[in-house]
Structure 1
Amino acid sequence: MTIADRWLLPDGVEELLPKDAAKVEHLRRELLDLYQSWGYELVIPPLMEYTESLLVGLGSDIDLLTFRVTDQLTGRMMGLRADITPQAARIDAHSLGRDGVTRLCYAGSVLHTRPKAPLASRSPIQLGAELYGDSSTDSDLEIISLMLQTLTVAGARNLTLDLGHVGIYESVVSALDEATEQRYFSILQRKAAAELDSLLAELPLDDKIKQAMAGLAELHGNDDVLDRGRDLLKAYPRAIAAIEALDQLAGEVRERFPGVALYFDLAELRGYHYHTGAVFSALSSDCDRALASGGRYDDIGRVFGRARPATGFSIDLKALLALLPDCEEGAAILAPNSKDAALWQKVQSLRAAGEQVIFALPGDTQVSACDRELVFKDGDWHLVSR
């Protein structure tokens, strides 16, 4: 390894230098204050936990994303969190154990063994909100509203909300055996139309089931998708109920956010292995991938001893960097490099009042940013313009 190689970071892992770090930290504080104003309480889970609690309830996707290490104290396997959602669920179900509705929010680094999407970071800063204890669409509406407000605060423009419901897919595949369902799932994820035709041709299924399987792949687009879904899936009561729930949810979102476009994907499978109801994501004209995503994941607390209705969303603060304006550089005060005790007291009082005070050092490039300085005059230190 050469000296130059010592400074290389792993692919997909990046550091934030002062300019970008200031932007992300400013947004993190602003958003956590926003969540607090909505009644969401901040939690700070640990970076690593035993895999028995960290990887339960969220399917194989999170399992594959998680780095594992051995605890040198106990010999047990631990994981470096790839998602804070299961940690928040554990806190709700076990550490807090409250009855009724609980609202939690969080912000922290997570690590991924591989990027979740092309060009995505393997070390995101995940920020999100989770609502536990209510199974109605009212809590889905609250979470979606908070997600859209989050992106508005971050400066995202021309937002589109993508809505789906895993109950529609589950209803259609209820008659399939496990192997066939897995093939169908893979085909839908890849939108491989030719493979779907081949699969349907070889399956000894009723024509109505094949029609539903073929048609589901086409149920994405604008509002007419819901009517097409009602017509195609009228023999599937659970699917119809899910479509009606989406229709209601979409109408309520439109009332609150008339400027947000809606897109429906009734074959949406993101998070299928742990989501149980509505799933949603938000996109912006400023970015080529979803900026935020979430959904309902009822009963995740069952593995911790308390099954709880749950819905939530999360974002990667790093992915929002391109949307954020540069932070305005605040005015600074220059203090001479003196050991005078009175100067020290003056500097400390100014810092306590919120001022930025920089002691002058040889070659200090920050000196040029100072618009005021402390000068000694008439036996005291005075603040004057530079």
Structure 2
Amino acid sequence: MNDAANPLSPPGLLPAGLMDLLPPEAEQEAALVEALMEGFCRYGYERVKPPLLEFEEGLLAGSGAAVSEQTFRLMDPVSQRMMGLRADTTPQVARIAATRLGLQARPLRLCYSGQVLRVRGSELAPARQLPQAGIELIGGAAPEADAEVALVAAEALARVGVTGITLDVTLPRMAHALLAAAGIGAALTDRLIHALDRKDAAAVTALAEGAGPIAALLPRLLAAAGPAAQAIEVLRAADLPEAARAIAENAASVIGAIAARAPDLRVTLDPVEFRGFQYHVGVAFTIFGPGRTGELARGGRYLSVNDEPATGMTLYPDAVLRAAPPAPSRPRCFLPLGTTAAAGAALRDEGFATVAALSAADQASALRCTYLWDGHRAVPIQKGTG
């Protein structure tokens, strides 16, 4: 049946997880993204603009494989090859760095903004089309590189009025490194991974009991989650195997570099948290907003194309907009018929949006104007007039 004739499918109906962004929210989000991008550019991050679609094999190579299940696919009618619609921008920036910018000096600092589309949302975040704005630092392996992306993101948030944030640091490879060194069977390993993922301290303690000294560290590290300085001390005191010790020492260096540059930033550490994109190989970051504003950004260390070291942070402008203080709306001034072009230009230079009458029937209030040009100046419109 033709959808136009189907009473159950009105013209304005959109697929689940997709929505229109209307005035003034659309303008506010665009202004917010520009402010975030300006914050990135101040630290030498240069803009790139990858395409919305790419050939599937390129889009899902390397770190892109982690979002394969979230990627929409379609056939290119020109080349007859499968294409993917990006579900995350980081893999595209990694491709650009390795190919188009492969000969540029490292470390390479790039930033981006744009929309991504995912096959499904989550229960807490059902939206499938999401705005992103982020930074990628490619070719820098030092802990200071991880610290830089975290701090540049934090400052960009502060520039749009989001303060009181928390930077949550996680070590995605720590739990797996400990379990690999513990020498326990696959079945017990899977049960411990499940218990750690659920933050079930009682189950982790029960399963680790009798599984050897390395597995016995898991309950202690699970309980260590909290302020970063305290969690680092727990890691330093623990008798960690070599691979896990290297992870802990790197985390301490990153957190130390962050504290040296931003001593007032609230930083937490969860040593055995491993959720998020599976391509993270070092420290991973999540930035939470104040109160109940939730997750504002996510990022961390990963391997770019050809195993080049890289680290980055993706900010979610829709979430940042909810956490930021309301931005003042641009005042709208109604220009009656006969208003000179010079008068309108002067008002726009002053920060007004001008709405010109196209006929005598146009009304200022109906066009949502809050000011009226009286021939000499912009006059506030009183309710019930205009």
Q: Judge same fold: TM > 0.5, yes or no.
A: yes
Unaligned runs of 5+ in 2: 1-5, 380-386
Q: Is the 8 A contact 1:47 1:81 kept in 2?
A: yes
Distance apart, 1:16 and its partner CA: 1.4
- Partner letter of residue 329 of structure 2? E
Q: Which residue of 2 aligns with 1:301?
A: 305
Distance 1:118 1:252, change over 3 A: same
- Partner letter of residue 67 of structure 2? I
How many angstroms apart in 1 are the aligned matches of 2:54 and 2:195?
35
Distance 1:367 1:158, change over 3 A: closer
Distance 1:53 1:59, change over 3 A: closer
Within 5 A, what are the aligned runs for 1:60-209?
Answer: 61-97=66-102, 98-116=104-122, 118-175=124-181, 181=189, 183-193=191-201, 196=204, 200=208, 207-209=212-214
Distance apart, 1:267 and its partner CA: 0.8
Post-superposition CA distance 1:117-163 (Å, at most 9, x none): 61352111011000011100111111010111122223323221111
Post-superposition CA distance 1:276-306 (Å, at most 9, x none): 11111111223353211110002x211xxxx
How many angstroms apart in 1 are the aligned matches of 2:75 and 2:334?
50
Q: Which moved further from structure 2: 217-226 or 310-319?
A: 217-226
Q: Which residue of 1 aligns with 2:357?
A: 360
Distance apart, 1:3 and its partner CA: 6.3
Unaligned runs of 5+ in 1: 376-382
TM-score, L = length of structure 2 = 0.84
Q: Is the 8 A contact 1:132 1:309 kept in 2?
A: yes
Distance apart, 1:261 and its partner CA: 1.8
- Partner letter of residue 138 of structure 1? E
* Structure number with higher helix proportion: 1
Distance apart, 1:53 and its partner CA: 1.3
Secondary structure of 1:292's partner? strand
Q: Is the 8 A contact 2:336 2:373 kept in 1?
A: no
- Partner letter of residue 83 of structure 2? M
Matched, 1:312 2:312: yes
How many angstroms apart in 2 are the aligned matches of 1:227 and 1:85?
33
Task: Choose from 30, 33, 42 the match for 1:37.
Answer: 42
How many angstroms apart in 2 are the aligned matches of 1:119 and 1:167?
26
Matched, 1:13 2:18: yes
Distance apart, 1:355 and its partner CA: 5.5
Q: Is the 8 A contact 1:360 1:367 kept in 2?
A: no
Secondary structure of 2:214's partner? helix
Q: Is the 8 A contact 2:66 2:279 kept in 1?
A: no
Q: Which moved further from structure 2: 104-113 or 178-187?
A: 178-187
How many angstroms apart in 2 are the aligned matches of 1:24 and 1:322?
10
Distance apart, 1:169 and its partner CA: 2.6
TM-score, L = length of structure 1 = 0.84
Percent of residue pairs bearing the same amino acid type: 30
How many angstroms apart in 1 are the aligned matches of 2:377 and 2:230?
67
Post-superposition CA distance 1:48-107 (Å, at most 9, x none): 111111112236541111111111122221111110000000010111112321111111
Q: Which moved further from structure 2: 209-218 or 102-111?
A: 209-218
Q: Which moved further from structure 2: 25-34 or 169-178?
A: 169-178
How many angstroms apart in 1 are the aligned matches of 2:61 and 2:191?
24
Q: Is the 8 A contact 2:162 2:325 kept in 1?
A: no
Secondary structure of 1:118's partner? coil
Distance 1:52 1:91, change over 3 A: same
Post-superposition CA distance 1:192-216 (Å, at most 9, x none): 4565467557xxx961233134544
How many angstroms apart in 2 are the aligned matches of 1:211 and 1:103?
41
Q: Which residue of 2 aligns with 1:56?
A: 61
